[in-house]
Amino acid sequence: MQPMILYKKLFDHFGLQHWWPGNSSFEIAVGAILTQQTAWTNVEMAIENLKNAKMLDTEKIASSDLKYLEELIRPSGFFRQKAGYLKNFCQQIIDNHDGSIEKLLGGELQSVRKELLAFRGIGPETADSILLYAGNYPTFVVDAYTIRICQRTGMFDSKKYDEVKAFFEEKVKLDAQVYNEFHALLVELGKNHCTSSNPKCENCPVNNGCQYPRRTVQSGSQSQR
C-alpha cells in the first residue's frame, strides 16, 4: 500500500485530528518534550500545573528552582530528566534567540532542525514535532507507531528514523498541513488498532494487505526485497 492511500483511508475513518493541542508555539514545544514515552493525559496534568503556577514561560522556567519544576511536571513521568531538558531548552532560547521561540522557529528548516537536535533531550521525533506543530515546517514526524504500521502493512521495513522519514517525504508531497494530519492519524491508528497487544491487527480499518506476522524466517537467505 502506498502512503497516500493509507492517508486517505485513515482520514476517511478518523477524520480531522486538530493537532497539536496547545495555544502557543512554546506550549507545543513544552508538550513535545513532556510527552516523550508518556501518555498525553499525563502531559495535560503537567502543563496544567505549569499554567496554574504561571510557569509556562521561557524566563520563568530557565530561572526556576529545579526541584520546584520537577514537582510541577511530575505527572508526566521521567520528571527529573525532563525538568533538566526544559530548563536547558529555555536557557538556549534565551541565550541565542532573545527568549523568543518564534525567533528560533524563524530560520531555515534544516538549520533550525540541526540546532534543536543539539539540545539535550531533543531527539529526532521531538525536534520534528516542534518544527511541524509549533513552526509549521513541512517535516515528517516518525514515531514508534509509524514504524510499526509501516512494518505490519508491508509498506516499508526499517526501524531507522531517518530512513522512514525519508520514505514518507519522498512519497508524500512536502506539505505541513498534510504531514500534520498524517502523523496525528498514524498515532490514532497506532493507539486504537495497530497496537502491540493486537498483533494480528484485528478490526483494523486499513489492514488490507497487513502482513503481520511479517515473514516466516528463512534460514540462510538474507536478501531484502
Residues that bind DNA (CB under 7 A): 19-21, 31-32, 35-42, 45, 74-75, 77-82, 119-127, 129, 133, 143-145, 159-161, 187, 190-191, 195-197
Q: How far apart are CB 125 and DNA at their closest, in Å?
A: 4
**Nearest residue (CB) to DNA, 2 versus 39:** 39
Q: Measured from the CB atom, is 173 or 191 closer to DNA?
A: 191
* Nearer residue to DNA within complex by CB, 2 or 198: 198
Min separation Cβ 190 and DNA, Å: 7
Q: Work out how close the CB of 207 gets to DNA at its nearest, in angstroms, rounded to a whole number.
A: 17
22: left (phi over 0), alpha (psi -120 to 50) or beta: left
Residue with smaller CB distance to DNA, 79 or 182: 79
For the CB of residue 209, give the shortest distance to DNA in the complex, in Å. Answer: 22
Q: Are 125 and 142 in contact (CB under 8 A)?
A: yes
Local structure of 122: helix, strand or coil: coil
Write down the least CB distance from residue 154 to DNA, Å. Answer: 19
Which of 93, 95, 224, 106 minimizes the C-alpha distance to 156? 224
* Long-range Cβ contact pairs of 14-22 (< 8 A, separation 24 or more): 14/185, 14/188, 14/189, 16/181, 17/181, 17/184, 17/185, 17/188, 19/133, 19/180, 19/181, 19/183, 19/184, 20/129, 20/133, 20/134, 22/47, 22/133
Nearer to DNA, 107 or 121 (CB): 121
